[in-house]
Amino acid sequence: MAERVVVAMSGGVDSSVAAALLHEQGFEVLGVTLQLWGKDVCASSGTRLCCSVRDAMDAKAVARRLGIRHEVLERVDAFRTTVIDYFVDSYRDGYTPNPCIACNDHIKFGELLQHAQALDAAGVATGHYARVGYDEKNRRWSLRRSVYLEKDQSYVLFNLKQEQLTRTRFPLGELSKDDVRAIARSLNLVTADKPDSQDICFVRDRNKDGFLRRQLQVSDESGPITDLQGHVLGTHHGLLGYTIGQRQGLGLAVGRALYVVALDQPNNRLIVGSQEDLLKQRLVAERVNWVSIPEPTQPLRVLAKIRSRHEPAPAWVTPQVDGKTQVEFDEPQSAITPGQAIVFYAGDRLLGGGWITKDE
């Protein structure tokens, strides 16, 4: 009897090909499309397509083409609590969140994995560009980067635990995006040339700040924009939504490029500076999850990545007695942002990662 695998089918080309490859390999594939947005989010987004009806239809068409089962799994409440509320609350508290990581943690490898277990499936597969392998030396499952680093998505998977990795498959880990689209075209899948999603999935009108204000029901409270010396350069209309390193949308005309370097919430002040002012060499991370290795007890040499599009940089990681971890880069890094994840690599192995705090 074929081993059963649940594939998270979002209606995009990556998950479509992931399902196709597993089906070709002889697995019993069950495609599941997650319905994650209720009427409240759809109404606030200002678009009729927010609830991804079209995506679900595309996923069902792919499943029909492949000859596999397909179902829609509603998890609106869980998504609201673990992803949307986290996203909104983080900005309210002055952090810059990563909702994709929260969705992976709680929905794809949480709710969906539980659903797979209830169906007696061996595990869950997704269209992420990453790899999973077993490390005999450490007797642990390891998370590895995609063979094609330009598409690597291991960063957003750093928080997976050992018990999740044992039941996870990434069929696209050794393929390029061109390979994936070629496979989809060869199978005449409706998603073959479908564009990749670039935006926060639940903010379909691309107006993040408007979404946040509607969710928090706050008004725009004006305040000063100052440089690091406290000189007033202009006025902002609410700190909500600003993030460290932001250059666009400041509304300043001072004859030089300025970037957000800090949010002074107690004084409702937006602090800006030069690109050099964004450079920092140290940070503190909390809630660190060691994926591929046991938790280290001594300083560890790593390549550290501070956001999804950051080139990993050499650093020392030193565990602290308070459960936090100090990271010191060889060279200062730009726009280290509280609320974002920092992820540690050795070669193609993702060792672990945590969350950047406001402490320095």
The 10s digit of each residue's pLDDT in 156-209 is: 999 999 999 999 999 999 999 999 999 999 999 999 999 987 668 888 777 888
More confident residue, 149 or 238: 149
How is residue 69 written in tokens?
């089962």
Tokens linked to 319: 């565990």
Task: Indicate if the pLDDT at residue 33 is higher than 80.
Answer: yes
Q: What pLDDT is recorded for position 201?
A: 85
Answer whether residue 215 is part of any domain: no
- Asked if 235 and 299 sit in the same domain, the reply is no
Instruction: Indicate if the alpha-carbon torsion angle 85, 88, 90, 96 is positive or negative.
Output: positive
* Within-domain flag for 308: yes
End of a domain among 143, 163, 186? 186
Distance CA 238, CA 209 (A): 10
**Based on the domain organization, do 247 and 123 belong to the same domain?**
no
Residue 230 and residue 320 in one domain: no
Query: Residues 93, 39: one domain?
Result: yes
List 42, 51, 100, 103, catalytic entry: 103
In this structure, which long-range contacts are made by residues 307-311, counting pairs with CB atoms below 8 Å and at least 24 apart in sequence?
307/335, 307/337, 307/340, 307/341, 308/98, 308/155, 308/156
Number of domains in the chain: 3
Domain CATH for 98: 3.40.50.620
pLDDT tens-digit series, residues 201-236 = 888 777 888 888 888 877 678 899 999 999 999 999
Percent of the chain topping pLDDT 90: 76
d(CA 312, CA 234): 35
**Cα dist from 19 to 56, 164, 169, 213, 350, whole Å:** 15, 19, 11, 38, 25
Which is catalytic among the residues 42, 50, 51, 201? 201
78, part of any domain: yes
Residues 224 and 177 reside in one and the same domain: no
Residue range of the domain that includes 80: 4-127+171-186
State yes or no: is 50 an active-site residue: no
Position 146 confidence tier, pLDDT thresholds 50, 70, 90: very high
Query: Which residues have C-beta within 8 Å of that of residue 154, sequence separation ≥ 6?
Result: 130, 143, 144, 145, 146, 343, 350
> Would you say residue 40 has pLDDT above 60?
no
The rounded mean pLDDT for the chain is: 91
Cα dihedral 249/251/253/256 (nearest 10): -30
Question: Is residue 92 helix, strand or coil?
Answer: helix
Query: Do 266 and 293 sit in the same domain of this protein?
Result: no
Same domain for 251 and 103? no
- State the average pLDDT over residues 320-345: 94
In a domain, 144, yes or no: no
- Asked whether residue 158 is assigned to any structural domain, the reply reads no
Q: Are residues 88 and 178 in the same domain?
A: yes
Assess whether pLDDT exceeds 70 at residue 41. no
Q: Please name which of 203, 199, 142, 174 lies closest in space to residue 351, comparing C-alpha atoms.
A: 142
b vs e for 342-360, b when ≥16 Cβ sit within 10 Å of the residue's Cβ? bbbbeebbbbbbbbbbeee
Chain centroid to Cα 128, Å, comes to 11
Concerning whether 42 is annotated as a catalytic residue, the answer is: no
Q: What is the model's pLDDT at position 218? A: 73
| CA atoms of 50 and 70, how far apart (whole Å) | 21
Enter the pTM of the model. Answer: 0.90
What pLDDT shows up at residue 50?
41
Residue 18 pLDDT class (50, 70, 90 cuts): very high
pLDDT at 322 over 50: yes
Q: How high is the pLDDT of residue 205?
A: 74
Do 15 and 64 sit in the same domain of this protein?
yes
Q: Is there a single domain that holds both residue 178 and residue 309?
A: no
* pLDDT of amino acid 46: 44
Across the range 240-248, mean pLDDT stands at 88
String of b and e for 57-88 (b: at least 16 CB within 10 Å)? Answer: ebbbbbbeebebebeeeebbeebbebbbebbb
3-state secondary structure 33-48: EEECCCHHHHHHHCCC
The predicted pLDDT at position 138 comes to: 81
Q: Does residue 48 surpass a pLDDT of 80?
A: no
CA distance 92 to 170: 34
Under 8 Å between Cβ of 124 and 169: yes
Alpha helices in 240-355 (DSSP H): none
What mean pLDDT is predicted for residues 288-303?
95
Q: Are residues 245 and 289 in the same domain?
A: no
Predicted pLDDT of residue 80: 95
Across 41-50, 175-184, 273-282, 299-308, least confident range: 41-50
**Pair (267, 312) in one structural domain:** no
Query: Above pLDDT 70, what percent of the chain?
Result: 94
> Which DSSP string do the residues of 117-155 spell out, in sequence order?
HHTT-SEEE---SEEEEEETTTTEEEEEE-SSGGG--GG
